[in-house]
Protein backbone atom coordinates (compact mmCIF):
# COMPACT_ATOMS: atom_id res chain seq x y z
CA UNK A 1 0.00 0.00 0.00
CA UNK A 2 1.25 3.49 -0.84
CA UNK A 3 1.61 5.87 2.06
CA UNK A 4 1.75 9.63 1.69
CA UNK A 5 3.50 11.36 4.56
CA UNK A 6 4.55 14.84 5.55
CA UNK A 7 8.21 13.80 5.46
CA UNK A 8 9.15 14.59 1.91
CA UNK A 9 12.04 15.35 -0.35
CA UNK A 10 11.04 18.90 -1.26
CA UNK A 11 12.30 22.06 0.39
CA UNK A 12 9.38 24.07 -0.98
CA UNK A 13 6.77 24.27 -3.74
CA UNK A 14 5.79 27.24 -5.91
CA UNK A 15 2.76 28.14 -8.00
CA UNK A 16 2.50 31.04 -10.38
CA UNK A 17 -0.13 33.76 -10.13
CA UNK A 18 -0.73 36.60 -12.58
CA UNK A 19 -2.91 38.39 -10.00
CA UNK A 20 -1.05 37.96 -6.73
CA UNK A 21 -3.71 39.69 -4.62
CA UNK A 22 -6.52 37.44 -5.89
CA UNK A 23 -4.43 34.28 -5.44
CA UNK A 24 -3.34 35.39 -1.96
CA UNK A 25 -6.99 35.81 -0.92
CA UNK A 26 -7.75 32.31 -2.25
CA UNK A 27 -4.84 30.63 -0.44
CA UNK A 28 -5.43 32.57 2.80
CA UNK A 29 -8.97 31.13 2.87
CA UNK A 30 -8.34 27.62 1.51
CA UNK A 31 -5.24 26.82 3.56
CA UNK A 32 -6.41 28.21 6.93
CA UNK A 33 -8.47 25.07 7.75
CA UNK A 34 -5.29 23.03 7.22
CA UNK A 35 -3.26 25.13 9.67
CA UNK A 36 -1.19 26.67 6.86
CA UNK A 37 -0.82 30.41 7.28
CA UNK A 38 0.26 33.37 5.20
CA UNK A 39 3.75 34.17 6.50
CA UNK A 40 3.93 37.42 4.57
CA UNK A 41 5.52 38.76 1.44
CA UNK A 42 9.02 38.05 0.21
CA UNK A 43 9.72 41.10 -1.88
CA UNK A 44 6.92 42.41 -4.06
CA UNK A 45 6.22 39.31 -6.14
CA UNK A 46 6.16 36.39 -3.68
CA UNK A 47 3.88 35.42 -0.76
CA UNK A 48 5.13 32.74 1.66
CA UNK A 49 2.91 30.09 3.30
CA UNK A 50 3.70 27.47 5.91
CA UNK A 51 3.02 26.12 9.37
CA UNK A 52 6.30 26.92 11.11
CA UNK A 53 8.51 27.83 8.11
CA UNK A 54 7.87 28.82 4.50
CA UNK A 55 7.16 25.76 2.35
CA UNK A 56 4.63 26.96 -0.24
CA UNK A 57 5.20 30.06 -2.35
CA UNK A 58 2.71 31.93 -4.52
CA UNK A 59 4.53 34.16 -6.98
CA UNK A 60 4.38 36.16 -10.15
CA UNK A 61 6.37 34.23 -12.78
CA UNK A 62 9.81 35.78 -13.22
CA UNK A 63 9.58 35.67 -17.02
CA UNK A 64 6.34 37.70 -17.00
CA UNK A 65 4.39 34.99 -18.84
CA UNK A 66 1.08 33.57 -17.68
CA UNK A 67 1.45 30.74 -15.16
CA UNK A 68 1.07 27.23 -16.53
CA UNK A 69 0.73 24.18 -14.33
CA UNK A 70 -1.02 21.81 -16.72
CA UNK A 71 -0.64 18.29 -15.34
CA UNK A 72 0.61 19.49 -11.93
CA UNK A 73 -1.31 19.00 -8.67
CA UNK A 74 -0.09 20.15 -5.27
CA UNK A 75 -1.50 18.18 -2.35
CA UNK A 76 -1.83 19.57 1.17
CA UNK A 77 -2.06 17.30 4.21
CA UNK A 78 -5.25 17.55 6.24
CA UNK A 79 -5.77 16.14 9.73
CA UNK A 80 -9.43 15.17 9.33
CA UNK A 81 -12.16 14.85 6.71
CA UNK A 82 -13.75 17.96 8.24
CA UNK A 83 -10.56 19.87 7.42
CA UNK A 84 -10.74 18.64 3.82
CA UNK A 85 -14.37 19.76 3.64
CA UNK A 86 -13.46 23.18 5.06
CA UNK A 87 -10.54 23.56 2.60
CA UNK A 88 -12.86 22.86 -0.32
CA UNK A 89 -15.67 25.14 0.88
CA UNK A 90 -13.32 28.00 1.73
CA UNK A 91 -11.50 27.69 -1.59
CA UNK A 92 -14.76 27.78 -3.55
CA UNK A 93 -15.92 30.83 -1.58
CA UNK A 94 -12.61 32.57 -2.30
CA UNK A 95 -12.79 32.22 -6.08
CA UNK A 96 -11.57 28.67 -6.70
CA UNK A 97 -13.34 26.18 -8.93
CA UNK A 98 -14.21 22.58 -8.08
CA UNK A 99 -12.03 19.87 -9.60
CA UNK A 100 -13.39 17.11 -7.36
CA UNK A 101 -15.79 17.42 -4.44
CA UNK A 102 -14.71 16.39 -0.97
CA UNK A 103 -15.19 12.70 -0.34
CA UNK A 104 -13.64 9.24 -0.25
CA UNK A 105 -11.19 8.28 -2.99
CA UNK A 106 -11.12 4.67 -4.14
CA UNK A 107 -7.52 4.60 -5.36
CA UNK A 108 -5.99 4.46 -1.86
CA UNK A 109 -7.51 2.75 1.20
CA UNK A 110 -8.99 5.30 3.60
CA UNK A 111 -8.24 8.28 1.33
CA UNK A 112 -10.51 11.33 1.68
CA UNK A 113 -9.77 14.33 -0.52
CA UNK A 114 -11.01 17.42 -2.35
CA UNK A 115 -9.61 19.17 -5.43
CA UNK A 116 -9.71 22.82 -6.51
CA UNK A 117 -8.32 25.09 -9.20
CA UNK A 118 -7.02 28.36 -7.79
CA UNK A 119 -7.87 31.65 -9.55
CA UNK A 120 -4.71 31.32 -11.70
CA UNK A 121 -5.68 27.79 -12.81
CA UNK A 122 -3.29 25.81 -10.61
CA UNK A 123 -4.68 22.51 -9.30
CA UNK A 124 -4.48 21.91 -5.55
CA UNK A 125 -6.00 19.35 -3.21
CA UNK A 126 -6.26 18.40 0.43
CA UNK A 127 -5.93 14.76 1.57
CA UNK A 128 -6.37 12.82 4.77
CA UNK A 129 -6.61 9.13 5.54
CA UNK A 130 -9.29 7.69 7.81
CATH of the domain at 124: 3.10.180.10
Which residues are within 8 A (CB) of 123 and not within 5 positions of it... i.e. 6 or more apart? Answer: 69, 72, 73, 74, 99, 115, 116, 117
Domain membership flag for residue 33: yes
Domain carrying residue 29: 13-61+72-129
Closest CA to 28 of 78, 95, 84, 81: 95
Domain membership flag for residue 66: no
How many domains does the chain divide into?
Answer: 1
C-alpha angle with apex 56: 81 to 77, nearest 5 degrees?
A: 20
pLDDT tens-digit series, residues 16-50: 998 999 999 999 999 999 999 999 999 999 999 99
pTM for the full model?
Answer: 0.85
Domain membership flag for residue 93: yes
Domain membership flag for residue 50: yes
pLDDT tens-digit series, residues 67-124: 777 778 999 999 999 999 999 999 999 999 999 999 999 888 899 999 999 999 999 9
Closest CA to 128 of 39, 36, 3: 3
Domain membership flag for residue 20: yes
C-alpha angle with apex 91: 93 to 118, nearest 5 degrees?
A: 115
Amino acid sequence: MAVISGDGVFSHTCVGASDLATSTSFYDAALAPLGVKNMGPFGETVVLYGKDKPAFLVLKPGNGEAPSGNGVTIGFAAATPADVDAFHAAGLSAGGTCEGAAGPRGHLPGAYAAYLRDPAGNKVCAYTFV
